[in-house]
């Protein structure tokens, strides 16, 4: 069983039954930050309502990791260095958490397709 960093994109695709993501959630495990959970909760709330969003919150809450001050700093330096790509704060933080833990960043976000240590799926 491998560990992945679950980007919001990947989580939403799994929730929407994209078969490409099934094995990453059912055969492996992962982590995310509070920012990713906020993005996912809002997306589910908007698409299907509070009841399902609350289920997602309850399910994913235990997978949250707290980034260090150094990780936060590294993430914002990375975002600044990549400013032409207009990456989100949550994505940059998640990517740095994944890099620092030596685990793949699971996403379908095209902006990350060519970065190292990314498991890019569509």
Report the pLDDT value the prediction gives residue 88, as an integer from 0 to 100: 94
Beta bridge partners of 6: 106
Mean pLDDT, the chain, integer: 96
pLDDT band at 25 (very low <50, low <70, confident <90, very high): very high
DSSP 32: B
DSSP 68: P
Beta bridge partners of 3: 29
Decide if 30 contacts 3 (C-beta within 8 A): yes
Mention the CATH class of domain 3-120.
alpha beta
Asked whether residue 122 carries a pLDDT value surpassing 90, the answer given is no
Report the pLDDT value the prediction gives residue 1, as an integer from 0 to 100: 85
Average pLDDT for 18-35? 96
Decide if 111 contacts 91 (C-beta within 8 A): yes
Token pair 């998640």 is found at 94
């Amino acid at each position: 069983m491998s560990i992945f960093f679950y980007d919001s994109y990947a989580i939403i695709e799994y929730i929407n039954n994209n078969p490409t993501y099934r094995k990453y959630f059912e055969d492996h495990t992962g982590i995310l930050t509070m920012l990713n959970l906020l993005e996912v909760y809002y997306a589910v709330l908007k698409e299907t309502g509070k009841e399902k969003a609350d289920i997602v919150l309850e399910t994913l809450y235990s997978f949250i990791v707290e980034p260090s001050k150094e990780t936060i700093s590294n993430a914002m330096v990375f975002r600044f260095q990549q400013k032409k790509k207009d990456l989100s704060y949550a994505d940059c933080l998640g990517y740095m958490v994944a890099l620092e833990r030596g685990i793949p960043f699971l996403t379908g976000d095209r902006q990350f397709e060519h970065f190292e240590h990314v498991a890019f799926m569509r």
